[in-house]
Chains A and B, each alone.
Chain A
Amino acid sequence: MQFLRLDYKKRSDEELMTMILDKNELAFDELYCRYSIKMYSFFYRMLYCDRDKGEDFLQDIFLKLIDKLELFDSERKFSSWFYSIASNMCKNEYKKIKLRNYHSEVHSFSDISVNTNIYEELDLKSFNDELYHFLEDMDEGPKSAFLLRYGNNLSIKEIAEILECPEGTIKSRLFYTMKYLSERLNVYKPGGN
């Protein structure tokens, strides 16, 4: 069994998807391991650090994957396809939030334990809070680009494909986001000193 799992680890996402089409549970397990945390962190950050909502969205996106397996275009890169579904789900959620005129409460990061000294931790916490306040004020498009680039470490080309924008637009969004963020976070000295 362990040997089989190792074999699945060598497979590409697209190969795993082909196997899942044949209802291969081990292939699904491998794909879940690869993408569950990545997707959860994306939803969590996009949806105002709401863990429950993040988990609901994570479940929804994997249910969509199972129910609409046949819709996957094997010519396309799986990660781009999967992230574009995630991005559209967030886009719809933002529309709903806008309609409800809902303002969520930004969750604190006090539950994140980091093995540093108390001053560094306080500084990091302040930085985190300021970052998330900043993200809350951002529009869905630039926020998605920012999180996909720095949170999920995707290339600019891939982000452009996911968000259906030219690469220049993504570069511009990233530049201005980082510029404003930097101006806002300037009080927090680099390195936490």
Chain B
Amino acid sequence: MKDDILNIIPDFESLLRNKGFAELSSNEKASVMQFMTIEEYESMRSNTARVIELFSKEEKNLTIDKNLEPDLVNRLRKKKEKSITWILSFCLAFRVPVYQVAILLLAGFLLIPKSNLKIVTQVLSIFRIDTVFIEKSINSLASDKRGNLTSIIHPGEKNRISKPHISKVRPILINQSSPYFANIITHFQSEKNGHAIENDSTLYNRLLTLQLNGN
């Protein structure tokens, strides 16, 4: 008998249990015959059936001690009681009775003056709600991708940090010798003093116009 029968017939065991050799299909017969004779197949089949029958009969004759189940149920019941009385036994495990400790705590709570209670409430609210800022010295500053520092430390002012202003406005090249330039500046100054001008962007626009006109 070759050793690789299960590679050819993976469900050989179910075949053996359910079909006699005569009941096998021609393909199944051919596959089985590669590994064993008809007699060997039938012998294995009948022995399998006898083993199953024997075990089945044997099981019917096996008896278990009748006290075993009640003992187990008792064990389950004890486990149940154990879990119910767990809190009680936990309390009783202490030498100082729990109710005395509880009374002491209650009395202490009642004796605390109201003003103290207010402080306690405020402290609690700080802990729970408020954000507390802590002063901390800075050792390093953030830099951009090129490695340039984006902030400056002022050691004389308690290490105040400031960020240099970088204007996003395009610079304007103006010919300052132009008479128009002097006029705009003078006019701007007078307007500013007289609150006629709204902001510096008006000046910027005028200067830009001057540049575009080529002056």
Interface residues of A (CB under 8 A from B): 20, 23, 25, 28-29, 32, 36-38, 40-41, 44-45, 55, 58-59, 62-63, 66-67, 109, 111-114, 124, 127-128, 131, 149-151, 153, 156, 168, 171-172, 174-175, 178-179, 181-182, 185-186, 188, 190-191
With A131-B51, A172-B6 in contact, do A20 and B68 touch (Cβ < 8 Å)? no
Q: Are B58 and A112 in contact (CB under 8 A)?
A: yes
A37 touches B64 (CB 8 A): yes
Task: Kindly state the separation between the CA atoms of A127 and B54 in the bound complex, as whole angstroms.
Answer: 9
Whether A171 and B51, one on each chain, are in contact in the complex, defined by CB atoms closer than 8 angstroms, is: no
7 of the cross-chain contacts (CB-CB < 8 Å) are A37-B62, A40-B64, A41-B55, A109-B58, A127-B54, A151-B55, A178-B13
- Assembly CA distance A138 to B163 (angstroms): 85
Using A23-B79, A150-B52 as known contacts, say yes or no to A55 and B44 having CB atoms under 8 A apart: no
**In the complex, what residues of A have CB within 8 A of residue B48's CB?**
150, 178
- Taking A23-B80, A168-B6 as contacts, is the C-beta distance between A178 and B16 under 8 angstroms? yes
Partner of A181, one of B6, B51, B58, B64: B51
Q: How many A-B residue pairs have CB under 8 A?
A: 107
Instruction: List the 5 shortest-distance A-B pairs measured between CB atoms, nearest first.
Output: A190-B46, A23-B80, A151-B55, A182-B44, A182-B47
Q: Which residues of A contact B143 (CB under 8 A)?
A: none
Please indicate the chain B residues that have their CB under 8 angstroms from the CB of A67 in the complex: 79
B176 interfacial by beta-carbon distance below 8 Å: no
B89 to chain A, nearest CB (A): 17
Neighbouring B residues of A172 by C-beta, 8 Å: 6
Please measure, in the bound complex, the distance between the C-alpha atom of A38 and the C-alpha atom of B60, giving whole angstroms.
Answer: 10
Partner of B46, one of A45, A171, A179, A191: A191
